[in-house]
């Protein structure tokens, strides 16, 4: 577990950086709506995350990629709701700057995502 968790955290930081960069790009240059910007950031970064987790972190050889992607998206949908709620609270209640709020929101879902991915999505059959 320790080795896969370390890999997970390293790649979570990478995909979080992608997520934050896309979020800020969309929010600042396309549409000033946190939910829309967060959706685009999530869509791109979770696709990247799925393939990194499957190939590198969990070294999963399961051939039924569509089934895994379905469960992965379910885990991420739950995380998206949590992430969006934390982001809105940071921005609207605590008045934390946008980029810092997004980082806090991303960190809020890391451990639950790892556990659910390991036990539900990329488990060996």
**Residue-wise pLDDT tens for the chain (125 aa)?**
568 889 999 998 999 899 989 999 999 999 999 899 989 998 999 899 999 999 999 888 888 888 899 999 999 888 888 889 999 999 999 999 998 998 898 788 887 888 889 888 988 76
- The alpha carbon of residue 35 and the mean position of all alpha carbons in its chain are separated, in whole angstroms, by 15
Residue 60 per-residue DSSP state = -
Q: How far apart are CA 29 and CA 108, in angstroms?
A: 26
- DSSP E strands: which ranges in the chain? none
Predicted model pTM: 0.72
Q: How far apart are CA 115 and CA 26, in angstroms?
A: 30
Domain-wise residue ranges, the chain: 2-121
What backbone torsions phi and psi does residue 109 show, to the nearest 5 degrees? -110, 0
């Amino acid at each position: 577990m320790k080795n896969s968790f370390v890999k997970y955290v390293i790649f979570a930081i990478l995909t979080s950086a992608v997520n934050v960069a896309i979020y800020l790009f969309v929010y600042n240059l396309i549409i000033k709506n946190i939910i829309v910007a967060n959706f685009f950031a999530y869509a791109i970064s979770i696709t990247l995350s799925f393939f990194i987790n499957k190939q590198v972190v969990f070294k999963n050889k399961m051939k039924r990629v569509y089934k895994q992607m379905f469960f992965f998206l379910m885990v991420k949908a739950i995380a998206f709701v949590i992430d969006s709620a934390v982001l809105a609270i940071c921005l609207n209640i605590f008045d934390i700057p946008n980029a810092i709020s997004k980082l806090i929101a991303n960190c809020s879902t890391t451990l639950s995502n790892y556990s659910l991915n390991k036990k539900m999505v990329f488990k060996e059959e």
